[in-house]
Amino acid sequence: MNVQSQISASSPATTEHFDVLIAGAGISGVGAAYHLTTQCPGTSFVALETQKTFGGTWSTHRYPGIRSDSDLHTFGYRFKPWTSAPIASAAEILKYMGEVIEENDLSRHIRYQHTITSAKWSSAQNLWTIEATRTDTGETVRFTTNFFWMCQGYYRHTEGYTPEWKDMARFKGPIVHPQKWPDDLDYNNKRIVVIGSGATAATLIPALAKDCAHVTMLQRSPTYFRTGRNAIEIAEQLRLLQVDEKWIHEITRRKILFDQDAFTRKTFEEPEAAKKDLLSAVEAYLGKDYDIATHFTPKYRPWRQRIAFIPDGDLFQGIKSGKASVVTDEIDRFTEKGILLKSGKELEADIIITATGFNLSANGDIEFAVDGKKLDFADTVTYRGMMFTGVPNLVWVFGYFRASWTLRVDLVADFVCKLLNHMKQTGARKVTPALRPEDHNMPLLPWIDPENFNPGYMMRGMHLLPKRGDKPEWQHNQDYWAEKDEFPAIDMNDHVFVYA
């Protein structure tokens, strides 16, 4: 079926046109909208968002205690100072994003309850035709756009990932995934088992511990955590000196990023020393008698999976108080009363929470086609983790795992705006990344090297992701410290970019 016949297969009454169409109104989509307004004035654009409101992750996750696991000086945008404690609740993040929208008059550009279902590129028209379903009316609406800016995040918001364990149906109590937290879940004085020990579990457990009878963190294998005061010393000092908040934001960001880069390098160059730093901070809370070797010492090198920050050691304080505990074991099966472990021990529970992660959805579950041919992103090679060979006029935002996601939102936005301005100046209507002659013998590898970073959702979904090459320009290298210099230096006339 060619593009034209696909277009006429469903027939919305009208088609609206925008220079740029943004998918999503999470931290990435709102950032894209801000940068378009400021760096490409006069560009018409719309952001289509499935949910009833902005915020993405921070509006769809409603479990108790939901908060960031990285600091808001760097998770916040570079253009709007963060003025509170670095680890923030979802409510605080939403308030901050709401201010960005209001201060920059962005709400007139956002259409909520619009789920993008298909995106079809036509080289004859040099346009994307985007169809969306209005979740309030069920109506199909159609847009055309010159440039598609995908800010759809990396996982499916409608459901989390829950493994199939034997006899789950036998358990008498509720089994809840944190992504679908029921508003009326009463956990007062209940015994809870949380399966998993990632950032979500680490956030939930101290919050649940306040009111439940007891909460057990059940993990197959341990996770690294960083811990410390929920404060950044340099920000506190500058505030005491009554320095302007804009300066505090910039200086604090630089300090955090410098320290993070040093720590990341240490995890590669001196992994044992980095491990010791992390574990001694845990020991400072739990004491020498606690079995840190079993429960908090992973087998992998630090930073191969995301390291969550535990503000004020609240998870460890919960353990120390006796309200929370950790069990490191494997699940054999569920029982009526709880979970039978492979060691033979039974964990009794009134509620079981499966903090077991996400389902990767790299393309927002949108059906793509280029010139009538169905597009599978796994057949493409990524240009710097944001564009794809053979896919014209499209950028997607994939943030950092070892640093705050939003750092890349700002960097990618600078690139997109520079590209759009360049195309306007040169009269180009189409830009498609392509391998250059010198790239043709380059090995094509999975999106990310599992030796470098290997969380479960990535490993489960790697086959869906574009390929990477072995040169910096053909991969998402997860290195903000390098990209902050590399991105502004990108030459718009590089032969990677094929213009028409």
Ligand X SMILES: Cc1cc2nc3c(=O)[nH]c(=O)nc-3n(C[C@H](O)[C@H](O)[C@H](O)COP(=O)(O)OP(=O)(O)OC[C@H]3O[C@@H](n4cnc5c(N)ncnc54)[C@H](O)[C@@H]3O)c2cc1C
Task: Pick one of 23, 32, 248, 339: the residue that binds ligand X (CB under 6 A).
Answer: 23
191 binds ligand X (CB under 6 A): no
68 binds ligand X (CB under 6 A): yes
Quote the least distance from Cβ 67 to ligand X, whole Å: 8
Quote the least distance from Cβ 373 to ligand X, whole Å: 20
Quote the least distance from Cβ 443 to ligand X, whole Å: 29
Task: Pick one of 34, 45, 57, 214: the residue that binds ligand X (CB under 6 A).
Answer: 57
Total length of the chain: 500
261 vs 332, beta carbon nearer ligand X = 261
112 vs 165, beta carbon nearer ligand X = 112
48 binds ligand X (CB under 6 A): yes
381 binds ligand X (CB under 6 A): no
Q: 354: which strand partners? A: 195
Classify strands 140-150 and 394-396 as parallel, antiparallel or unpaired: parallel
Q: Which of 362, 413, 470 is nearest to 31 (CA)?
A: 413
Quote the least distance from Cβ 348 to ligand X, whole Å: 28
**In terms of C-beta density within 10 A (0-12 exposed, 13-18 middle, 19 or more buried), how is residue 410 classed?**
middle
302 vs 469, beta carbon nearer ligand X = 302
458 binds ligand X (CB under 6 A): no
Q: Which of 465, 458, 469 is nearest to 434 (CA)?
A: 469
d(CA 477, CA 485): 13
Question: Per CB under 6 A, which region of 49-57, 167-175, 329-337, 427-435 contacts ligand X?
Answer: 49-57
Question: How many Cβ atoms sit within 10 Å of the Cβ of residue 174?
Answer: 15
d(CA 48, CA 134): 10
In 338-483 the beta strands, taken as DSSP E runs, fall at: 338-341, 346-348, 351-354, 367-370, 373-374, 382-383, 387-388, 394-396, 431-433
27 vs 207, beta carbon nearer ligand X = 27
70 vs 264, beta carbon nearer ligand X = 70
Task: Pick one of 318, 338, 364, 461: the residue that binds ligand X (CB under 6 A).
Answer: 364
d(CA 388, CA 394): 8
69 binds ligand X (CB under 6 A): yes
Greatest C-alpha distance within the chain: 70
Q: Is there a contact between 306 and 448 (Cβ–Cβ < 8 Å)?
A: no
Q: Is there a contact between 416 and 387 (Cβ–Cβ < 8 Å)?
A: no
Helices 405-426 and 27-39 cross at an angle (nearest 10°) of: 40
Q: Which of 248, 263, 329 is nearest to 294 (CA)?
A: 329
157 binds ligand X (CB under 6 A): yes
Tokens standing for 173?
Answer: 């109590």
Residue at token pair 């590089």: 494
Question: Per CB under 6 A, which region of 96-104, 150-158, 332-340, 378-386 contacts ligand X?
Answer: 150-158
Task: Pick one of 118, 146, 152, 389: the residue that binds ligand X (CB under 6 A).
Answer: 152
116 binds ligand X (CB under 6 A): yes
18 binds ligand X (CB under 6 A): no
86 binds ligand X (CB under 6 A): no
Quote the least distance from Cβ 406 to ligand X, whole Å: 7
Ramachandran class of 336: left when φ > 0, alpha when ψ lies in -120 to 50, beta otherwise: alpha
129 binds ligand X (CB under 6 A): no
173 vs 455, beta carbon nearer ligand X = 455
28 binds ligand X (CB under 6 A): yes
Classify strands 367-370 and 114-122 as parallel, antiparallel or unpaired: parallel
Task: Pick one of 21, 29, 97, 387: the residue that binds ligand X (CB under 6 A).
Answer: 29
Question: How many Cβ atoms sit within 10 Å of the Cβ of residue 183?
Answer: 5
- For the residues of 220-258, what is the DSSP string, one character each? SS---EEEE-SS-HHHHHHHHTT--HHHHHHHHHHHHHH
200 binds ligand X (CB under 6 A): yes
Q: Which of 201, 123, 151, 114 is nearest to 20 (CA)?
A: 151
80 binds ligand X (CB under 6 A): no
115 binds ligand X (CB under 6 A): yes
Task: Pick one of 405, 415, 447, 497: the residue that binds ligand X (CB under 6 A).
Answer: 405
353 binds ligand X (CB under 6 A): no
Tokens standing for 31?
Answer: 């950032």
Binding mask 300-339 for ligand X (x = CB under 6 A): ----------------------------------------
Tokens standing for 98?
Answer: 């709401």
153 binds ligand X (CB under 6 A): yes
Task: Pick one of 404, 432, 475, 478: the residue that binds ligand X (CB under 6 A).
Answer: 404
Q: Which of 111, 55, 318, 103 is nearest to 194 (CA)?
A: 318
Question: Per CB under 6 A, which region of 2-10, 64-72, 221-229, 472-480 contacts ligand X?
Answer: 64-72
d(CA 178, CA 159): 10
439 binds ligand X (CB under 6 A): no
Classify strands 308-311 and 324-328 as parallel, antiparallel or unpaired: unpaired
Task: Pick one of 18, 75, 149, 415: the residue that binds ligand X (CB under 6 A).
Answer: 75
Question: Per CB under 6 A, which region of 135-143, 396-404, 412-420, 465-473 contacts ligand X?
Answer: 396-404
51 binds ligand X (CB under 6 A): yes
24 binds ligand X (CB under 6 A): yes
Quote the least distance from Cβ 221 to ligand X, whole Å: 21
Residues at the site binding ligand X, with contacts judged by CB under 6 A: 23-29, 48-51, 56-57, 61, 68-70, 75, 115-116, 151-153, 157, 199-200, 364-366, 397, 399, 404-405
